[in-house]
Chains A and B, each alone.
Chain A
Amino acid sequence: MSKQTIKIAAVVLCLVALAVIVPRGNSFVVLLVTRALAFAILAMSLDILLGFTGLASLGQAAYFGVAAYLTAILANRYGFGLHWDFWLMVPLGMLTGAALAAIFGLFAIRATGTYFLMITLALGQCVWGLAYRWNSMTGGDNGITMKGGRPQFGLDLTNDVTFFYLVFAFFAATLAALYVLVRSPFGKSLLGIRERELRMKILGYNVWLHKYVAFIIAGAFGGLSGVLWAHTNGIITPETVVLTTSVDALLMVVLGGAGTLVGAAIGSAIVFGLREFGSTLVPWWQYVLGAVYVLTILYLPMGLMGVPERLRQWRATQKKRTTKNLASVPS
């Protein structure tokens, strides 16, 4: 129990440090961290599926993209969500993500393993196709530029630092909400499904329903991430909903450590950091990112959050080896 308290304290400390340090940085850093935090919400929503339920979804960008497009379209056409009604846009985005997940889930949840992956990929690409082709609504390949800028409602979100605080607050709230979720009886049932689905059925769980609800919740947080992303970026293109975005989120979760929530956020920070700084340093920065992924999957199956555990094991085997050697020396 106390171990858990220490972990929570460490995370809270890191969050406080982030909130204090980042605003002192230059505008480039502030915007970079804001982007990473907004995207981290998407990665954490995917972690609920991948890390906790054992569902590897390749279509998480769909909910993210639909909510981002909705935010941009409503803002540009009706000026909706640019004042106090931003607070309506947030639940609306979440509802949209959840509703889309509720529809997609009907198709996807019946499948498991690779088939689930393929179906979510296909459904995600349907959304991308729509964004790409529906010119009159989405602007096609050019996407939509948010003409109205960021919302202003007493708080002036056009100020990057103020906007950072807002995204940070949403990030922290999501982390807290999902943390409670994964420790709740429902969250534990997801772990059970990940570990042994058949046993869960026999224990009296309606496994399909639990997966479906988890899928919808992940969609809702994907939607939240999308709303914030629209305002962070200021421009929404089909790139937002393309397969690469889903894969990015998936790799962030794997990189940080699936089933840890915080790992997804760390993964997001590393990917955004490498991308931004790497691209200014060397033209082949993408290879660096690729190498990081490959090495993680090969040597750190539990991701970066698994490093302490890995060290502990290594030390234990080291100790065993020395005692063994000592034991074999005499006589």
Chain B
Amino acid sequence: MNTDTTMNEPAPVLKLTNLCKSFGGLQATRDVTLRVMPGDRKAIIGPNGAGKTTLFNLITGIHPVTSGQIHLFGQDVTNWPSHRRTALGMARTFQVTSLFPKLTVIDNVLLAIEGLRPTKFVMWRFQSSYKDVYDKAHTLLEQAGFLDRKDTEVRNLSHGEQRQLEIVLGLASNPKILLLDEPAAGLSSGESTEMAHFLMKLDPTLAILLIEHDMDVVFDVADEISVLHFGELLETGTPEQIKQSTRVQEIYLGTD
């Protein structure tokens, strides 16, 4: 594995090699090969059922792969459980909001921060006695403009706020690669624009792999777009190239 990491070229954050996944007779992922370098902003687009979320589930270890390899920061993590992959510096958000609905905003963020700390096993001290974790949660919430709602239960937030909090939770562990599964799902166009601006402001060294249906968000955020169709990567290119591609227009943007 380390043979292709020369001094000139930094190691890829994420490398997928001939990744395949079948659910019974359904081939959800076919021979996907992809490299994400530090600071890359890549998007994966494709029609419904193209296997985008499945691909994320393979990368994060929710589903075992059928064949192929996944390398994170140069390590073969193909058979690792999710929590160990996260510990390497990976984070993701979910298409369907997956927060802790009955916990407060701050408790959600605290859980996200504690996830990679050994103190998560401490059972003889109050969580509130960990000043540093609290300070970090405050900073994160302040940046996202949530500080005034920190004691609100998450189920009482609006959908748009919950989508934003999804990303805050993803960022809480200081990841080096962030997988975003349709961050703008269900948002109004105004909210989507806000979301795109929020994503563009993130640390430029953070690699982002984005699944999105909202093309405005994709074209704003991504430097490179890959098109997934029936589990297969059809085309990869800059937003301009993808816009021009007749093949992509046929399968995805519609022919008109």
Task: Name A's B-contacting residues (CB within 8 A).
Answer: 180-181, 183-189, 191-192, 195-196, 198-207, 213, 217
Contact = CB atoms under 8 A, between A and B. Distances in A.
A203 to B, nearest CB: 4
Contacts of B101: 195-196
Nearest to A187: B123
A204 B111 contact: no
Interface of B: 60-62, 81-83, 86-87, 91-92, 94, 98-103, 107, 110-112, 114-117, 119-128, 130, 169, 172-173
A195 B116 contact: no
A192 B103 contact: yes
Contact of A183 (B114, B119, B126): B126
B183 to A, nearest CB: 15
B100 A192 contact: yes
B122 A184 contact: yes
B60 A202 contact: yes
26 contacts: A180-B126, A184-B126, A185-B114, A185-B123, A185-B125, A185-B130, A186-B120, A186-B123, A188-B107, A188-B110, A188-B127, A192-B100, A195-B100, A195-B102, A196-B101, A198-B62, A199-B169, A200-B111, A201-B61, A202-B82, A203-B83, A203-B86, A203-B115, A204-B83, A204-B87, A207-B83
Contacts of B112: 203
B90 to A, nearest CB: 9
B116 A204 contact: yes
Given A184-B127, A185-B127, A204 B81 contact: no
Nearest to A207: B83
Contacts of B128: 183
Given A184-B126, A204-B83, 5 more contacts: A185-B122, A185-B130, A189-B114, A201-B83, A203-B86
A212 to B, nearest CB: 12
A272 B214 CA distance: 60
Binding site secondary structure of chain A? helix
A200 B82 CA distance: 10
Nearest to A179: B126
B127 A196 contact: no
Contacts of B130: 185
Question: Which of B60, B92, B121, B130 gathers the greatest number of chain A CB atoms within 10 Å?
Answer: B121
B163 to A, nearest CB: 14
Contact of A184 (B60, B98, B124): B124
Contacts of A199: 94, 98-100, 169
A15 to B, nearest CB: 20
B127 A202 contact: no
A196 B110 CA distance: 15
Contacts of B124: 180-181, 184
A217 B121 CA distance: 13
A185 B60 contact: no
A46 B101 CA distance: 23
Contacts of A202: 60, 62, 82-83, 86, 91-92
Contacts of A196: 98-101
Question: Which of B100, B112, B117 gathers the greatest number of chain A CB atoms within 10 Å?
Answer: B100
Contacts of B99: 196, 199
A189 B120 contact: yes
A85 B114 CA distance: 41
Contacts of A187: 123, 127
A55 to B, nearest CB: 16
B194 to A, nearest CB: 23
Contacts of A213: 121
A162 B111 CA distance: 44
Given A198-B98, A199-B98, A204-B87, A188 B82 contact: no
Nearest to A192: B111
A186 B83 contact: no
